[in-house]
Amino acid sequence: MAALDGRVAIITGAGAGLGAAEARALAAAGARVVLNDLPGDPLDEVAERIRADGGEAVTRPGDVADWATGEALVKTAVDTFGGLDVLVNNAGVLRDRMIFSMSETEWDTVIRVHLRGHFVTTRFATAYWRARAKTTGRPGYARIVNTASEAFLLGSAGQPNYAAAKGGIVALTLATARGCLKHGVRANAICPRARTSMTGELMGPAPTGPDPMAPERVAPLVVHLAGPSGERINGEVFVVHGDVVAVLGPPTVRAVFHATTGEWTAAELDAALSTEFDADPPHPGFVCEETLPLAESTFGEGS
């Protein structure tokens, strides 16, 4: 029996790139899949390929950030396949620009597709799982895999909209992981890297032979988190590409200062914080660059 036999999964942005690879991998692991993307041919092609490989797939095109699309995706899963067990939030777009040049539309589009797009589907999926748990009297099988990015860890300078949306997705993942655990939900986030239409210009053409940057290298972790093995994993954030899977630690408290009189004065605060910040020139402090060397085995030196 395959890991996801009998399970039903929704995958957003499944018409191309990572979403298509993840949909095929989930179907190959036995899941019956509901595929979402913007209306167009590629989504049908992904569904047809899954069916040709012996899987079951239906499509429900639509803008993932629309309330009606989220509602329709869950309804399609329930009406077509009898339920919902897995939600993979993946759809996304880029509108890169430095913060001082960014237009309102560039900001709103990216926040809307990524952050609202994750919220809308999660809202309807978790409502379904909560109601199911109340009906059966016990938590059921429920998995969410969200798609963040290392851009949020790094404070990606040319992507303030994208970094903010991805940071928001991590926070949404943690709140969902905490808020829906008792209903059976396991919610985790991945920060993938792969050669897709989103990154092709940056990464260049694929090499002849096996591509360490192929989206198919990311899909096994999504299957793992969606499968029975994901039962004990909740509220975690992974970096995944090539042959690398890394799990991030939580942010830590770096230093604590107490006012000697119980209340800070400006002078006392100046003196206390100068010990922490005066030694080095200003630089972005609250970033995590530890994941960058991990990419060298996938993307080569200087990545």
Ligand X SMILES: NC(=O)c1ccc[n+]([C@@H]2O[C@H](COP(=O)([O-])OP(=O)(O)OC[C@H]3O[C@@H](n4cnc5c(N)ncnc54)[C@H](O)[C@@H]3O)[C@@H](O)[C@H]2O)c1
Residues that are catalytic: 149, 162, 166
In whole angstroms, what is the distance from residue 110 CA to residue 87 CA? 20
Task: Give the residue with the Cβ less far from ligand X, 8 or 189.
Answer: 189
Give the nearest distance from C-beta 17 to ligand X in angstroms.
2
One-letter amino acid at 242 equals: G
CB of 131 to ligand X, least distance (A): 25
178 contact partners, CB below 8 Å, separation of at least 6 = 235
Cβ–Cβ under 8 Å, residues 176 and 185:
yes
Which of 141/162 has CB closer to ligand X?
A: 162
Residue 126 or 298: the one with the smaller Cβ distance to ligand X is: 298
DSSP assignment letter at 14: T
Q: Tell me the one-letter amino acid at 78.
A: V
CB of 203 to ligand X, least distance (A): 8
Reduced to 3 states, what is the DSSP secondary structure of residue 89? coil
- The residue ranges that bind ligand X (CB under 6 A) are 12-13, 15-19, 36-38, 63-65, 90-93, 113, 117, 147, 149, 192-194, 196-199
Q: How many residues appear in the chain? A: 303
Minimum distance from residue 166 beta carbon to ligand X (Å): 7
Cβ proximity to ligand X: between 140 and 200 the closer is 200
| Residue with the CB atom nearest ligand X in the bound state | 17
CA distance readout (Å), 163 to 115, 172, 250: 11, 14, 18
Helix H or strand E segment including 33: strand 32-35
